[in-house]
Amino acid sequence: MPGRFNIGLLHTSLTGNPDHDPYAPTTEARLIATGYDYWALGHIHQRQVVRESSPCIVYPGNLQGRHARETGPKGCELVEIEHGRIVRHEPVVLDVLRWHRLELDLGGIDDLEALAQRIDPAFEALLAGEAGPGRAVGVDAGAASRLHCVRVVLRGRSRLHGAEAAQPGLLEAAVRAQALQQAGRLWIEQVRVELASPLDRGALAARDDALGEVLREVDRLLADPQALRTWAEAALGAGANLPAELADLRPERLDEASWRVLLLDAEAMVLAQLGRDLTT
């Protein structure tokens, strides 16, 4: 409307976003052509400034992250207008619970004490808002009381790989124990262990002993998905005795990726037991 400050509201994916389904597709050029002064867009839950001015086009994001994939600060956009023109706009952080993904490289970490020394400063940095992309900006009045929910991913080549294989759940328990030191401000949503053995797997697979034979058999099965499925189903059976709540784990229902993960987990257990004292 001429002589007024015109605001457009639209739920749209614009020209597309690889992380979101298409919704009411349109283009930035079409929004500009309307002559509106400000466009507030929905559908994308991460704040994004599409265009700074003439017109200003913003995805303010959602008010509260709903799950572990919606990380970082959430809120709305504060827009200040003088004499019919936008003079400033900035995010206002409103979330009461914030999701994070914290990836830790445990390369060279060989015991639980060293793990704790790596985790503690990472947690402190996260709570201080210094943990990299997604840190809070703009107005944030609730920082002191906010609960932080964290998905922790452990990566790198570490002897803790063998310890976890020998005692599954060991590293998750250690991470959760360290989180308890943060006075209730931090909750661990999940711990993903994606460690690799520091052992030279190629050298071990070339050995003329039981360990080398096991690793060579793993390589053969990884190279042939159908052979892996046939071998595993023969070894495990049809899973008829599994309770109904575990039906999705029946061998005939697992896909190729799931079989590979299970096989590599089994290899890790073998390395932990047979290769415990190896230094190669």
Which among 23, 78, 87, 85 has a CA at the least distance from the CA of 47? 78
Amino acid type, 93? V
Model pLDDT for residues 124-177, shown as the tens digit of each residue: 999 887 544 444 455 665 666 789 999 999 999 898 988 888 888 999 999 999
The reported pLDDT for the residue numbered 200 is 82
The answer to whether 23 and 43 have CB atoms below 8 angstroms apart is yes
* pTM of structure: 0.73
Lowest mean pLDDT among 34-48, 73-87, 195-209, 228-242: 228-242
Rounded to an integer, the average pLDDT of 57-61 is 96
Torsion angle, alpha carbons of 247, 250, 255, 261, to 10: 110
The answer to whether 240 and 251 have CB atoms below 8 angstroms apart is no
Lowest mean pLDDT among 38-42, 110-114, 211-215, 246-250: 246-250
CA-to-CA dists, residue 102 to 39, 50, 96, 136, 157, angstroms: 33, 28, 19, 16, 17
Task: Please state, in angstroms and rounded to a whole number, the distance separating the CA atoms of residues 224 and 220.
Answer: 7
The residues spanned by each domain of the chain are: 7-93, 97-196, 201-274
The end-to-end CA distance of the chain, in Å, is 76
Task: Please state, in angstroms and rounded to a whole number, the distance separating the CA atoms of residues 200 and 56.
Answer: 56
Tell me: pLDDT of 56 over 90.
Answer: yes
Model pLDDT for residues 73-101, shown as the tens digit of each residue: 999 999 999 999 999 999 999 999 999 99
DSSP code per residue over 212-252 = HHHHHHHHHHHH-HHHHHHHHHHHH---TTS-GGGGGGSGG
DSSP code per residue over 146-212 = -EEEEEEEEEEE-THHHHHHHSTTHHHHHHHHHHGGGTTSEEEEEEEEEEE-SS-HHHHHTSSSHHH
Which among 196, 77, 82, 187 has a CA at the least distance from the CA of 137? 77
pLDDT mean across residues, the chain: 86
